[in-house]
C-alpha cells in the first residue's frame, strides 16, 4: 500500500511540475517537485527504492521533452541511489537538516540535467544559474511542504513522513 501511495505522490509531483512550473517560476527557476518525494523515499527506504523512484519520476519528466529523453531518468536514478546509500550516514534530526539534504540533491539534479543538455554545445552560464536557482527554490518549497504535512500529521494522526529514517 505504501508504494502505491508513494508512486501516486511521484506522479502528482511530476504532473504538477509540468503544469504549474511556468506559473510559479521565479526568474526562470522552477521547483523540481518530484524530487521532494524522491529524497524522502530514498532516505526512509534504501538505495533500491531511491533508484527506482528517481528513475520513475525522471521518466515522467522526460515524457514531455523532445530531445533529451533519458536525461532526467539518468540523473534521477543516480541521485536516488546515492541518497539511499548515504542514508546510513545521515541523521534526519530536524527540518533544517532535511532542507539541506534536499537542497544538495536538487542542485545535483538540476545541474546534472543542464550539464547533459549542454553536451551539444556551450549554452553559456545562464542555464546553470537558473539551475542553481531551481535547486534553492525546490529546497524552500520542500521545507514548506514537509512542515505543512508534519503539522497535518500532528492534527490528524497520520503516519510519520520520516518513519524509517535515522
Partner 1 sequence: MLQAFTHWVWAHIRGVTLTFTVVLSTALLIRGPQASIGPLRWGIVHVIAAGQRVFGLPIELAHLRDENRYLRSLVLSHIIHQAENRELRSENERLRQLLNFRERSRFRLIAARVLAHDSEVPPTTITIDVGFVDGVGANMPVMTPEGLLGRVEGRPAGHRSLVRLISNPSLRVAAVVENEDRGMGILRCDGKRLRVENVAQEARVREGDPVVTSGMGGIFPPGIYIGKVLKVRNDPHALFKEMLISPGARLDRLEEVFVVREISPSAAIIGGVPDAVDR
The C-alpha atoms of residue 105 and residue 111 are separated, in whole angstroms, by 10
Q: Which is nearer to partner 1, 39 or 71 (CB)?
A: 71
Query: Measuring CA to CA, which residue among 83, 11, 103, 86 is closest to residue 40?
Result: 83
Buried/exposed 3-28: b ≥16 CB within 10 Å, e otherwise? eeebbebbeebbeebbeeeeeeeeee
Q: Which is nearer to partner 1, 92 or 129 (CB)?
A: 129
- Decide if residue 100 touches partner 1 (CB under 8 A): no
Backbone phi and psi for residue 93, each to the nearest 5 degrees, phi listed first: -80, -50
The C-alpha atoms of residue 129 and residue 59 are separated, in whole angstroms, by 24
- Decide if residue 133 touches partner 1 (CB under 8 A): no
Q: Which of residues 36-75 bind partner 1 (CB under 8 A)?
A: 46-48, 51-52, 54-55, 58, 60-71, 73-74
Site residue total, partner 1 (CB under 8 A): 44
Q: Which is nearer to partner 1, 66 or 96 (CB)?
A: 66
Which residues are near partner 1 by CB under 8 A? 11-12, 14-23, 25, 28, 30, 46-48, 51-52, 54-55, 58, 60-71, 73-74, 77-78, 81, 116, 123, 126-127
Amino acid at each position: 500500500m505504501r508504494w502505491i501511495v508513494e508512486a501516486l505522490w511521484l506522479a502528482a509531483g511530476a504532473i504538477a511540475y509540468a503544469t504549474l512550473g511556468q506559473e510559479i517560476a521565479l526568474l526562470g527557476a522552477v521547483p523540481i517537485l518530484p524530487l521532494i518525494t524522491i529524497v524522502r523515499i530514498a532516505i526512509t527506504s534504501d538505495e533500491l527504492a531511491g533508484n527506482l523512484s528517481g528513475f520513475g519520476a525522471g521518466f515522467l519528466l522526460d515524457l514531455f521533452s523532445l530531445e533529451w529523453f533519458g536525461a532526467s531518468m539518468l540523473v534521477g536514478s543516480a541521485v536516488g541511489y546515492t541518497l539511499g546509500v548515504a542514508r546510513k550516514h545521515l541523521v534526519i534530526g530536524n527540518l533544517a537538516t532535511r532542507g539541506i539534504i534536499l537542497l544538495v540533491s536538487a542542485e545535483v539534479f538540476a545541474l546534472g540535467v543542464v550539464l547533459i543538455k549542454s553536451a551539444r554545445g556551450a549554452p553559456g552560464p545562464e542555464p546553470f544559474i537558473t539551475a542553481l536557482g531551481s535547486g534553492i527554490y525546490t529546497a524552500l518549497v520542500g521545507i514548506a511542504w514537509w512542515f505543512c504535512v508534519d503539522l497535518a500529521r500532528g492534527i490528524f494522526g497520520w503516519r510519520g513522513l520520516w518513519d524509517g529514517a535515522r
